[in-house]
Structure 1
Amino acid sequence: MSGSPVPLIDLEPWFHGAAADRAEVARRTDEALRTSGFLLVTGHGVPSPVRAAARAAARQFFAMPTEVKAAYTVGVGGRGWLPPGAEANAGAEGADVAATPPDLKESWTCGADAPTGDPAVDEVWFAPNVWPHEVPALRSALTEHLAHMRALADELLVVGARALGLDEDFFTRHTGHPSYTLNINRYPPLTETGEPAEGQFRIGPHTDFGTVTVLDREVGAGGLQVDVPGYGWVDAPHEPGAFTINIGDLLSRWTGERWRSTRHRVLPPQDVAPEEDLVSLVYFYELDPDTTVEALGPPVGHVAAAPVRARDYLAAKLAAITVH
């Protein structure tokens, strides 16, 4: 971690320390989000067996024949299997998806599924999760992982509110019935994908869309890079047991761009590691879908933006990365 613009922050003092310890964690979090927009956290309380079980069950699913996985095929934002070629994240930055090489990955997606009672909202944001009968362990493993991820994401929003001098529930009062998604991304090896096309990545350059992203990743040659001002593209550091945290567009917008929604990408498979096969657990936390996000002014924020409704913003971004 030495010299990295992405800091490592221990959350143990936040959960169990004195007031001064909690204040210091909040201060360091604010500093990280103002500069790189990324941080690593330890002391988060998520048991390592929970993460290991989720990854192992996902690998069982990904190892099945394509014709079996195909029965669970969905589009971007759906619940099930997102096959290779379905998504091009560079489209979120305005790139022409039709002319952009698709991301070199496959994904299993699940997420919030408790209906609100509004059919128009539930169909898009709270659709029932789908669970493959061929891998019975997947449902229990991912359900447990999701519960830990939501609790951690809410706590990080509380840390953020404290850092800004706001009521600690300033953000979480809008996460009573939030949308969220867990994408389990498999990045196949070079021996499976073949040589990437020009400008093709495992995930193309983009910013995330929601509030908090919690990433449990495997380190590799074709790994995560972050576009940090003053540094350019840098390899994201990796610390065993830590989560990689970044914020998305909605939270950046909410803070008047005090906090940075930072561009990042996942490199294509590399010639130096042709057999490298990585699986990342990526939790995207959002808000109650009808939340109106309005930019905070000084002394918190410094960039005004028109208010947006969370679900409208998110729907437009998901459409932008969909390969038709």
Structure 2
Amino acid sequence: MPAIPEDNFSSIPLLDYSLALSSCTKAEFIRELRHALISVGFLYLSNTDTVVDHQLIENLKNYIPKLFALPQKEKDKIRMANSPHFLGYSKLGAELTKGKTDYREQFDIATDHVSRWKHGDPDYFNVWGPSQYPDEALIPGFRYTMKTYLTQVASLGTHFITLIAEALGLPPDGLSRFYDTPDRMQHRGKVVQYPVPNERSESDQGVGPHYDAGFLTILLQASPHPGLQVQNFTGDWIDAPPIPGTFVLNFGRALEFATKGIARATSHRVLSPPVGSSSPRHSVPLFHNIALDVRVRDPKYELEFPPEILKLRDGRGNLSQTDSINYSEFESQPSGMVQLMGRVKSHPDVAQQHYPVLFKQFYPDGLPKQGFAY
């Protein structure tokens, strides 16, 4: 068994984004980011209002209860099963993590994009496409607020990728080979509600243990509830409670594979709000994607790192194995296919309708008894 590093974390570091914007303090920020990348895999990020408007965040938070309070028939009109892009509404308990039901209700909404798929193209080209929004008359202003929010947070992610590159000893554009032109990119968001369970609930799984797939996730914890937990080197679950004025950032498996294991993708989960809580938990993640046809292990994407960065990785030791969903398909598949396979496993009812061949591959006996939206 590998030795446990002395810096096995027991809390999540807080980084000040404003330090990255000044030549006087950027080096300090890069050092802190390097530690978070290699030894933790998660961080809080404060002072981002130069990119993401504070009032916009507050406006979005105010919309979220209204969004979930829409009449069920209106939410059902934009159900995810309508969309080959896996965008839209999923009712409570409609998503699976490792075959177990996640107790959450959600709207998957992405940055604007026109699907590039045409007959003869790989299916995964169609995993990106236009979002579905509720009727504007029922929740006026939400669509504009959500689109603006996603655009600003995606911009934050695009800049943060250059900081990650520098923290890994690369030039600022060192990770750009993994991205396509802006018109051929889409970044996926969710608006999530975790309801309060009752004493008879069989599980407190808001979402089960998992890694994220891509390079970078930017999470807004939009209510004061605890629930997010991060797994450290020894397998302990470390709380990551909301800190006002911050985002939570974490790194995905694609980045871990692309950086030869230097960047750490960290297992995490969300617990339902404690029984007796007066309101549900709300969160808004954005998954900053890489290009659909990138194969991160292809030699043409191989990165060369300075010896001092490799030494830090080796000093950390091997990452512990967990039972979380780990996206090992990045070893052999293009990014888009990994995304599509993950969507099929999580939303089998959508796959049955739009990707019947893949559905049969993963669900030869038909839809599971639990975990499908309709």
In 2: Cα distance, 1:149 partner to 1:31 partner: 23
Preserved contact between residue 209 and residue 268 of structure 2 (Cα < 8 Å): yes
- The structure 2 residue matched to 1:285, chosen from 275, 285, 288, is 288
Residues in 1 aligned to 2:63 and 2:258: alpha-carbon distance in whole angstroms? 36
Q: Which residue of 1 aligns with 2:128?
A: 126
**Which secondary structure state, in structure 2, belongs to the residue aligned with residue 292 of structure 1?**
coil
C-alpha distance 131-274 of structure 1, shift in aligned 2 (>3 A): same
Which of 182, 196, 200 is the aligned partner of 2:201? 196
Q: Comparing 5-14 with 230-239, which one deviates more in the overlay?
A: 230-239
Helix, strand or coil for the counterpart of 2:218? strand
The aligned counterpart of 1:5 is 11
Cα distance in 2 for residues equivalent to 1:69 and 1:16 = 45
1:319 to 344, 347, 357: 344
Partner of 1:88: 96
Distance 1:162 1:217, change over 3 A: same
For residues 204 and 306 of structure 1, the distance between their equivalents in structure 2, rounded to whole angstroms, comes to 23
Aligned amino acid, residue 114 of structure 1: H
Tell me how far 1:65 sits from its aligned partner: 2.2
> Aligned AA for 1:17?
S
Q: Which residue pairs with 1:111 in the alignment?
A: 110
CA contact (8 A) 2:124 2:336 kept: no
* Range that drifts further, 306-315 or 171-180: 171-180
Output the TM-score relative to the length of structure 1.
Answer: 0.86
| Count, aligned residues | 307
The CA deviation at 1:160 is 0.6
Residue 195 of structure 1 aligns with an amino acid whose one-letter code is R
Rounded Cα–Cα distance in structure 2 between residues aligned with 1:103 and 1:116: 28
Question: What amino acid is the match of 2:160?
Answer: L
Contact 1:50 / 1:141 at 8 angstroms: preserved in 2?
yes
Note the aligned Cα RMSD (angstroms). 2.5
What TM-score, normalized to structure 2? 0.75
Structure 1 gaps, min length 5:
92-96
C-alpha deviation, 1:268, in angstroms: 2.2
CA distance in 2, matches of 1:162, 1:287: 18
Return the offset for 1:5. Answer: 2.6
**Aligned in 2, Cα 1:58/1:221: closer, same or farther, shift over 3 Å?**
closer
Structure-2 residue corresponding to 1:94: none
Q: How does 1:65-104 map onto structure 2 within 5 Å?
A: 65-75=71-81, 78-89=86-97, 91=98, 97=99, 100=100, 102-104=101-103
The aligned residue for residue 169 of structure 1 is: 173
Query: Structure 1 pair 211/270, CA: closer, same or farther in 2 (3 Å)?
Result: same
- The SS at the match of 1:72 is coil
Q: Separation in 2 of the partners of 1:141 and 1:172? A: 29
2:230 is paired with a residue whose SS is strand
In the alignment, the residues of structure 1 paired with residue 115 and residue 30 of structure 2 have an alpha-carbon distance, to the nearest angstrom, of 33
Which SS does the other structure have where 2:80 is aligned? coil
Q: 1:269 aligns with which of 258, 273, 281?
A: 273
1:227-266 deviation digits (Å, cap 9, x = unpaired): 1114610111432101100011111111111111111111
* Distance apart, 1:36 and its partner CA: 1.6
The answer to whether the Cα contact below 8 Å between 1:54 and 1:138 also exists between their aligned partners in 2 is yes
Question: Partner of 1:28 in structure 2?
Answer: 32
User: The residue matched to 2:277 in structure 1 has which SS?
Assistant: coil
1: distance between equivalents of 2:264 and 2:43? 12
CA shift, 1:27, in A, is 1.8
- Equivalent residue, structure 2, for 1:247: 251
The answer to whether the 8 Å contact 1:154/1:172 transfers is: no
The aligned counterpart of 1:180 is 187
Q: 1:122 to 1:145 in 2, by over 3 A?
A: farther
How much has 1:220 moved relative to structure 2? 4.7
CA contact (8 A) 2:211 2:265 kept: yes
